[in-house]
Amino acid sequence: MAAVSPHPFDPLRPEEISRASRIVRPHFGGQDPNFRVITLLEPSKKEMIPFLEKEHHKQPAGHVPTRYARVEVVIKGSDGKNQLFELIVDLDNDRVTRKQHIKGKHSYIDADYMKAVEAACLGNEEVQAEIRTLNLPAGATVVVEPWAYATDGVNDMTDRVTMCWFYLRLLENPDANYYAYPLDVCAEVSEKLEVTKVYRLPTKPSERINNEKKPFDRRKIHSTAASEYHPDLRPNPRTTTKPYQVVQPEGPSFRIQGNQLKWEKWSFRVGFNYREGLTLHDIRYDGRSCFYRLSLAEMFVPYGDPRAPYPRKAAFDLGNDGAGINANNLQLGCDCLGTIKYFDAYHNTPSGEPLKMPNVVCCHEQDDGILWKHTNFRTQNPVVTRSRILVLQTIITVSNYEYIFAWHFRQDASIFYEVRATGILSTVPTDVDVKEKIPYGTVVAPGVLAPYHQHLFSLRIDPAIDGPFNSLVIDESKPLPVGDPSVHNPFGVGYVTESQMIEEEGGFDLDFTKNRDFKFVNEKKINPITGTPVGFKLLPAYSQMLLSHPDSYHAKRSEFADHAVWITRYEDYDFFPAGKYTMQSTGGDGLASAIARRRNNGTTQSIRDQDIVIWHTFGSTHNPRIEDWPVMPNEKLMVGLKPVNFFSGNPSLDVAVSTQDKNKSVLYNGDEEKAACCPSRL
Amino acid sequence: MAAVSPHPFDPLRPEEISRASRIVRPHFGGQDPNFRVITLLEPSKKEMIPFLEKEHHKQPAGHVPTRYARVEVVIKGSDGKNQLFELIVDLDNDRVTRKQHIKGKHSYIDADYMKAVEAACLGNEEVQAEIRTLNLPAGATVVVEPWAYATDGVNDMTDRVTMCWFYLRLLENPDANYYAYPLDVCAEVSEKLEVTKVYRLPTKPSERINNEKKPFDRRKIHSTAASEYHPDLRPNPRTTTKPYQVVQPEGPSFRIQGNQLKWEKWSFRVGFNYREGLTLHDIRYDGRSCFYRLSLAEMFVPYGDPRAPYPRKAAFDLGNDGAGINANNLQLGCDCLGTIKYFDAYHNTPSGEPLKMPNVVCCHEQDDGILWKHTNFRTQNPVVTRSRILVLQTIITVSNYEYIFAWHFRQDASIFYEVRATGILSTVPTDVDVKEKIPYGTVVAPGVLAPYHQHLFSLRIDPAIDGPFNSLVIDESKPLPVGDPSVHNPFGVGYVTESQMIEEEGGFDLDFTKNRDFKFVNEKKINPITGTPVGFKLLPAYSQMLLSHPDSYHAKRSEFADHAVWITRYEDYDFFPAGKYTMQSTGGDGLASAIARRRNNGTTQSIRDQDIVIWHTFGSTHNPRIEDWPVMPNEKLMVGLKPVNFFSGNPSLDVAVSTQDKNKSVLYNGDEEKAACCPSRL
């Protein structure tokens, strides 16, 4: 047992995971449960608010919330089909407090099962026969990439269906990029690991069914220099990039106790779970509450190719795959630069034992250029401070793609959330001979189409601006009218802001043409100087919303992707803007449905000056460039949270001025005088 | 004489500045010319294209463009009024090739003249009488801040008019923040340094004329901790920020010869002039031409308070003030971190001698996190590269405000332009007693209103995508229709891109809801793999455009601020989207007028596959937060330029993998085990 009790926000400890599975196992008799999830059930906010109040006032804890685990178990039913159960386990009293059979839903993707699907697919004679028709190059290896089936209405969704996409690894090296050789074979595998369908993929722009069964076109074979990213398979790398090191002679500026982090007036707790990955809790600046919880809540990646079966490519990378379970083991000096604190996480094995996931989060500081500067032009005296940021980074690999997620804390009390998309494009085969432009993607190599797709993220923001009861205000900047005798605007240059307090749950759109601002305010706390409620505002990432038709399964399944900003009333465990179970979901589980349900059953209440949650949908319509191939230079997206009339002035005003004594920069006087820069005219 | 001839893009050298003034002086007889500008007249593009071709192919130069200076001179006319002349000087043949009297226009702000205005204003008896009515605290100093007059139609614009705003410096220290004490006195000073009007400013929301002449309200006096930014005037700074140093043991990755910079396959030339400040020329990646010239072309800062005389606050910070002339002398270890190359610039004194401006540009590298990463989930082998960026930074101080401008070059062949706004808000006085919300600004201290305003930048992009002849394409991502039998979209998820080639000059708006992309392409160069023209795209900063009424002087004077993207046909010396002479301009000199003029006089030609220029308008509607006071933590804006199907793959694919051996990161194992994180429950 650990010497110190966990904080209520701390993820489950290894011994708690073991304990939970020990408590759960007897509830399934002699059956062998497949433990998919053993994770912290976060305490209710009602319990946590007084707990945190006491904690921050250094008072005795009093009531400590019970420690609960949420457990997902899959059992083989008497009909041979999988049954999903959710259990709530009271770890303080060693008992199961709830056991629920979740009918008609699936747990997230099971990596072991996916391996079995691969093996079943490759072992199938019909598949092998189809492969033989391809007449593949000798020595090449067929690679099967199983994907969760995105609901398209064709199959009954009671059972799991797996789509198997085929690629060719031309080289022996197992790190060779097989996405460079997509094959036009496709197979569907059932829950029971039966291959239920084998067919060829369309390879022409307007093709609906590919009946040609052409062999693999040798003209698709191209240089490894163009398609490989692994250094073992590439020519020598460039040598011009000189080393760049970060030195912190007095150590980092952060302090860490358990999962609590303190840095430059910020304090918060680091959480982690299999699904959302990194979560942040109880975020305060200079002791004042700003946010109760921040997390990436969901992510939807639908592909835009209308030809069957491509509409089945649409991934919920959190709900289906899990940002936690797919988090990388980050390596010192590779993924992070400087003085690095790593956080480990614990998941569980199928048998319910703790599974250590080392280094899933790295924490470090970065220099971010100038924080603020002013030169008094009368005295010519400059005052300049440098901006330091604290970064908490986690990276996930979801098959071909990677996402780099990073929270940035700044000294000026702003928080930014950065997403970088990198990794390898998911490719499909196309005919080398097709001359017309394929309207659904970009040809990135001979016979390789990188299809258009979207990445739509949902960032869940649970504000606690000086307390749990907040309101959402939408501000716009509007010109004053001209020619209206009741309005003083003689020169036509006046403008004002108009504010709308949001009274009901709903979804809203961005409009930069109106300078539309979304602010979370505490109407009860008025800034004594500005005379306005204290608040934070969202700096959104302007993004196209979902392109799929509202009646499509894509749209029904990803309701959050319809508007950029949603506001809902806080409810415990309401973390899922596309529903709790997204695997083969059929829709109606998302934000819009929940709001409509509450409206229809009369439980809607005003959300003004209430405990509210803001969900920001953002992302990219990713129509690939060839520059994204064979591995994509990161594409950044940035969302921000900034105080607005929350403090009584610039919170970073007390940052010490920047000095060479501390920064030890080096003057470069290199080769500039050496040679002529252009042919002499003399 | 220098040993090496200047490159045609090099700014004038000191001896060239002296030579130009020597050549010009005799053209004004016995008069004493005030040399406002002696700057390089950049060679015509027609001459430069063959010159650059030869240079890059290492062929003998052949014809070298003549070295010309552009000179602005102000002469006191026989009527006692200033006359502005522009002269073109052939420095190779020591002669003036053009001399033009620019009637009815003013050169940019003359700092010496502004000092004289201050002195004249403070020396005026009417001003002093008005100050006496304020009954100011003993020992306080009145500070006069002269501003260029923004045309409002009230005054004849033939002569210069200067607006004098009054502030109080309460403390003896000359670096005390007098913007914390705006006074309600205002004066107007004529070209001849006569005070033509003294009056009181409105201090109530709907006030039009302030006839109260109240004394200075002592309740406005507040703590220095809230209003001072200079460390000498503040409590001790925070001590938690530990030193952070950048070490480059093998030196930087860039190479510099004269003004040519080479870094990670990039090459370009650094230019600098009094008006635009930093300019970039002949930008190539891996030897291929990308851009002919990149520069910030203009900047407009109109204030939104409709009450006279505030509509006269609207600054063209490039045209009126000059981004070059106001560039900071950057200090090692303060403004820049790491191994720093500084560039100096030369302006001229009023008497025509060279004036050295040291360290106006700093050049250094930064680590930018991960460039690209992929982990093969089958082998668990990660490959990760770190992103290095090259930064060219320049900082300007324009009275109260500062702007930090930085070009970022990335290894993936993208370029970003970052603007950070910092410095001190321009303040106006307001009544302490007013209880109603003032709709034109934010109260940041007792009696201090920080008015709403906009910052609107114009970034001039002269593309040369594989050559000078390019086209602008607007792409949008559009859902395929559902239910149209001629379109295959059975699942409602298909989408395609639609492209529109722009045929005529004009202004365009952004629309993220359509994923509207602006691409500059070379229609004659087809990417052999993608089958599409090679190009770059603009990553715009989504911003509200000008709020002033189209009939207002603000709008007429800042035509570029009406649309986010403009395309014009390239013309030599067409660098000014709000006109060449913006000081007290009356409008009709901007982009829209030039386009209309060409359309009306029949000289419009197709701009498709022609030499084109793209102008991106972006900025912020800055409704101050109290957090921006007394000095503003930087607010960042970012614009990008990214290759789109320009290369044959990821240009940064050959960047070496990241290794701890080179990066020398440090593992932090600090204080985490030391203490309990919460009250023990045991």
Instruction: Count the Cβ atoms, other than its own, within 10 Å of residue B240.
Output: 17
Instruction: Count the Cβ atoms, other than its own, within 10 Å of residue B656.
Output: 15
In three-state secondary structure terms, A180 is helix
Higher pLDDT, B62 or B139: B139
- Read off the pLDDT of each residue in B543-553 and give the average, rounded to a whole number: 98
DSSP letter at A562 equals G
**DSSP bridge partners of A339:** B666
Q: A residues 85-114 near B, CB within 8 Å?
A: none
- Contact between chains at B527 and A634 (C-beta distance less than 8 A): no
CA R_g for chain B:
28
* pLDDT band, very low/low/confident/very high, at B568 (cuts 50, 70, 90): very high
Position B235 scores a pLDDT of: 95
- Contact between chains at B314 and A399 (C-beta distance less than 8 A): no
Q: How far is it, in rounded angstroms, from Cα B557 to Cα B568?
A: 18
Residue of B290, B172, B171, B185 lying closest to B227 (CA atoms): B171
Q: What is the dihedral of CA B327, B333, B334, B335, to 10 degrees?
A: 40
CATH number of A111-226: 3.10.450.40
For residue A642, give Cα distances in angstroms to A373, B48, B676: 19, 47, 32
Position B681 scores a pLDDT of: 37
- Contact between chains at A60 and B679 (C-beta distance less than 8 A): yes
Joined together, the tokens standing for residue B496 give 């395609």
The answer, yes or no, to whether the previous bond of B309 is cis (omega within 30 of 0) is yes
Joined together, the tokens standing for residue B630 give 């007394």
Query: Which residue of chain A is at minimal alpha-carbon distance from B259?
Result: A677
Position A99 scores a pLDDT of: 98
Q: How far is it, in rounded angstroms, from Cα A651 to Cα A411?
A: 7
Q: How far is it, in rounded angstroms, from Cα B143 to Cα A480?
A: 32
- Is B386 in the A-facing interface, judged by CB distances under 8 Å? yes
Position A671 scores a pLDDT of: 57
Which residue in the set B337, B370, B551 is minimally distant from A634, CB to CB?
A: B370
DSSP letter at B210 equals -
Beta strands at B141-148 and B34-41: parallel, antiparallel or unpaired: unpaired
Which residues have C-beta within 8 Å of that of residue B95, sequence separation ≥ 6?
Answer: B23, B89
- Contact between chains at A238 and B656 (C-beta distance less than 8 A): yes
* Strand order from edge to edge, sheet including A448-451: A428-429, A448-451, A441-445
Q: Would you say how long chain A is, in residues?
A: 682
Q: How far is it, in rounded angstroms, from Cα A168 to Cα A142?
A: 5
Angle at A615 between CA A612 and CA A618, to 5 degrees: 160
Which residue in the set A376, A395, A554 is minimally distant from B175, CB to CB?
A: A376
Position B3 scores a pLDDT of: 54
- Is A231 in the B-facing interface, judged by CB distances under 8 Å? yes
> What is the residue whose two structure tokens read 């010396």?
B573
**Chain B residues closer than 8 Å to A668 by CB:** 251-252, 339-341, 363-364
Q: How many Å lie between the alpha carbon of A365 and the closest alpha carbon of chain B?
A: 9
Position A669 scores a pLDDT of: 86
**DSSP letters along A405-433, please?**
EEEEEETTS-EEEEEEEEE----EE--TT
Q: Hey, where are the domains in chain B?
A: 14-101, 111-226, 255-424+453-484+493-622+631-659
H/E stretch holding A517 reads strand A517-526
Instruction: Count the Cβ atoms, other than its own, within 10 Å of residue B288.
Output: 18
Sign of CA dihedral B24, B26, B27, B32: positive
Position B333 scores a pLDDT of: 83
Q: How far is it, in rounded angstroms, from Cα B432 to Cα A495?
A: 22
Do residues B360 and B420 lie in contact, with contact meaning Cβ atoms separated by under 8 Å?
no
Higher pLDDT, B208 or B250: B250
Q: Do the two domains A14-101 and A111-226 of this chain adopt the same fold?
A: yes
Which residue in the set B334, B341, B397 is minimally distant from A660, CB to CB?
A: B334
Angle at A635 between CA A634 and CA A638, to 5 degrees: 120
Q: State yes or no: ipTM above 0.90.
A: yes
Low-confidence ranges of chain A (pLDDT < 50): 1-2, 672-682
Joined together, the tokens standing for residue B22 give 């020597």
Is the pLDDT score of B674 beyond 70? no
Q: How far is it, in rounded angstroms, from Cα A297 to Cα A578?
A: 9
- Read off the pLDDT of each residue in B300-319 and give the average, rounded to a whole number: 97
Residue of B420, B469, B509 lying closest to B613 (CA atoms): B469
Angle at B199 between CA B196 and CA B205, to 5 degrees: 140
In three-state secondary structure terms, B15 is helix
- Read off the pLDDT of each residue in B605-611 and give the average, rounded to a whole number: 93
Instruction: Say how many CA atoms lie within 13 Å of B547 toward its Cβ.
Output: 36
CATH number of B14-101: 3.10.450.40
**Chain B residues closer than 8 Å to A682 by CB:** 5
Q: How far is it, in rounded angstroms, from Cα A499 to Cα B434?
A: 20
**DSSP letters along B148-192, please?**
EPPP-SSS-SSS-EEEEEEEEE-SSSTTS-GGGSEEEEEEEEETT
Residue B668 exposed, middle or buried by CB count within 10 Å (0-12, 13-18, 19+):
buried
* Amino acid found at A472: L
Do residues A127 and A187 lie in contact, with contact meaning Cβ atoms separated by under 8 Å?
yes
Position A157 scores a pLDDT of: 86
Is the pLDDT score of B187 beyond 70? yes
Q: How far is it, in rounded angstroms, from Cα A324 to Cα A361?
A: 10
Beta strands at B612-622 and B565-569: parallel, antiparallel or unpaired: antiparallel
- Read off the pLDDT of each residue in B227-247 and give the average, rounded to a whole number: 97
Position A512 scores a pLDDT of: 98
* Residue A484 bears catalytic tag: no
**Chain B residues closer than 8 Å to A436 by CB:** none
Position B672 scores a pLDDT of: 45
Do residues B457 and B619 lie in contact, with contact meaning Cβ atoms separated by under 8 Å?
yes
Q: How many Å lie between the alpha carbon of B311 and the closest alpha carbon of chain A?
A: 7
- The CA-to-CA distance between both ends of chain A, in Å, stands at 84
Phi, psi dihedrals of residue B14, rounded to the nearest 5°: -50, -45
Position A676 scores a pLDDT of: 37
**DSSP bridge partners of A477:** A497
Joined together, the tokens standing for residue B614 give 């793209």
CATH number of A255-424+453-484+493-622+631-659: 2.70.98.20
Is the pLDDT score of B67 beyond 90? yes
Is the pLDDT score of B487 beyond 90? yes
Do residues B625 and A643 lie in contact, with contact meaning Cβ atoms separated by under 8 Å?
yes
State pTM to two decimals.
0.97
Helices and strands, number each (H, E), in chain A: 8, 33
Joined together, the tokens standing for residue B568 give 């014009």
Question: What is the per-residue burial (b if ≥16 Cβ within 10 Å, else e) of A597-636?
Answer: ebeeeeeeeebbeebbbbbbbbbbbbbbbbbbbbbbbbbb
**Chain B residues closer than 8 Å to A534 by CB:** none
Do residues A21 and A348 lie in contact, with contact meaning Cβ atoms separated by under 8 Å?
yes
Is the pLDDT score of B476 beyond 80? yes
Joined together, the tokens standing for residue A198 give 């084998």
